[in-house]
A = this chain, B = another copy of it.
Amino acid sequence: MSNRITSLFNIQYPIIQAGMVWCSGWRLAAAVSSAGGLGIIGAGSMYPEVLREHIRKIKSSTTKPFAVNVPLLYADTEKVMQLLAEEEVKIVFTSAGNPALWTGFLKEKGMTVVHVVSNTKFAVKAESCGVDAVVAEGFEAGGHNGREETTTLCLVPMVVDAVNIPVIAAGGIASGRSMLAAFALGAEGVQVGSAFAVAEESSAHPAFKERIINAVEGDTKLRMKKLVPVRLLKNSFEEAIAMAEAEGANRTTLSALLGHARAKLGMFEGNMEEGELEIGQVSALLKEIKPAAVILEEIWQEFLQEKNRLKQLNF
């Protein structure tokens, strides 16, 4: 029971929990890692000293491998990278930025490095910078998305053909069926965000989890393409953005509408109308709040079962 991804991270199942602002602290990451996947602490919503605390807590709660995701968007990235070295973090996922910036530093410290990409060009670049794997993340994903809007179904085979390192598929994956689809496309692992955002151990506000499991088709839209593209759940804030965009709002107007700490307001503090609610399109398929270990196990069992169904197809 192994492939290049399980070997790279020394994990049981090639299922990786995505780093997600305001959802993926040490509790969620520890639960996923303990259950045999790869848990990730999302550093995007943490001050450096908060991140340090989360790293220490996960280390005291599981001996299994875990990772830290660092979106390369923020001013304190250098401080964060130093901290990862000091705390002897073994696996780092970088995202939303240039893989040339930090891969060398992290590899020098002996870490395993994965970079998240939304196009082939950056996958090739990341490989040439020395990363150990790439996450190919499609249009349907929550969080920060690519401007090309390439879907997981189109993106994964292109990235698989373009690089030699293993590819982890992300965007639209929340079940064994979609995991199997990703493997059919050539991925060797999957990164699952939305399904773990509604895990019991996720630090998302309970009202946000409820909103996610009640989401239906068409409830998320990719917005703020002129600023930083992000997939948002419908609410008053999203409607204000949509209306401004329909009228041709520029970066300045969007920035002003977004203001400060809106993701925290929605995802962590539970303001379902005025907060920014980032989540994947696959939220329309999620129906229940469950422990992370159950989510992981259900994905894995369905993967095996559907793999068996395909095997028995009459072709």
| Chain A residues within CB distance 8 Å of chain B | 1-3, 119-121, 138-140, 147-155, 157-158, 171-173, 175, 177-178, 180-186, 217-218, 221-222, 226, 246-249, 281-282, 284-285, 303-304, 306-307, 310-311, 313-315
Q: How far is the CB of A194 from chain B (nearest CB, A)?
A: 10
Q: How far is the CB of A192 from chain B (nearest CB, A)?
A: 13
Q: Given contacts A158-B285, A314-B2, is CB(A151)–CB(B138) below 8 Å?
A: yes
Residues in chain B near residue A178, CB distance under 8 A: 153, 157, 184-185
Q: Of B150, B218, B307, which contacts A147 at CB under 8 A?
A: B218
Q: In the complex, how many angstroms separate the beta carbon of A96 from the nearest chain B beta carbon?
A: 17
Q: Are A150 and B311 in contact (CB under 8 A)?
A: no
Point out the residues of chain B lying under 8 angstroms from A307, CB to CB.
Answer: 310-311, 313, 315
- Give bound CA distance, A120 to B285, whole Å: 11
> Complex Cα distance A140/B152, Å?
10
User: Can you pick out 23 interface pairs between chain A and chain B where the beta carbons lie within 8 Å of each other?
Assistant: A1-B314, A2-B314, A139-B139, A140-B151, A149-B221, A149-B222, A150-B284, A151-B151, A151-B172, A153-B153, A154-B172, A154-B284, A157-B177, A158-B285, A177-B184, A177-B185, A178-B184, A183-B184, A184-B184, A307-B311, A307-B315, A310-B310, A311-B311
Is A218 a contact of B150 with CB atoms below 8 Å?
Answer: yes
How far is A275 from B182 in the complex, measured between Cα atoms in Å?
A: 35
Instruction: Report the Cα distance A139→B148, complex, angstroms.
Output: 13
Min Cβ gap A301→B in Å is 12
B149 touches A175 (CB 8 A): no
Name the residue of chain B whose CB is nearest to the CB of A246.
B248
Complex Cα distance, B175 from A184, in Å, reads 11
**Bound form: Cα–Cα A186–B120 in Å:** 28
Q: Which of A222, A226, A313 has the largest count of B CB atoms less than 10 A from its CB?
A: A313
A102 vs chain B, min Cβ distance (A):
24
- Within 8 Å by CB of A140, from B153, B281, B306, B314, lies B153
| A184 and B310 in contact, given A147-B218, A172-B153 (Cβ under 8 angstroms) | yes
Other 13 A-B pairs with CB < 8 A, given A154-B281, A183-B310 = A3-B313, A3-B314, A3-B315, A149-B222, A151-B152, A151-B172, A154-B172, A157-B177, A157-B285, A178-B184, A180-B184, A180-B310, A181-B184
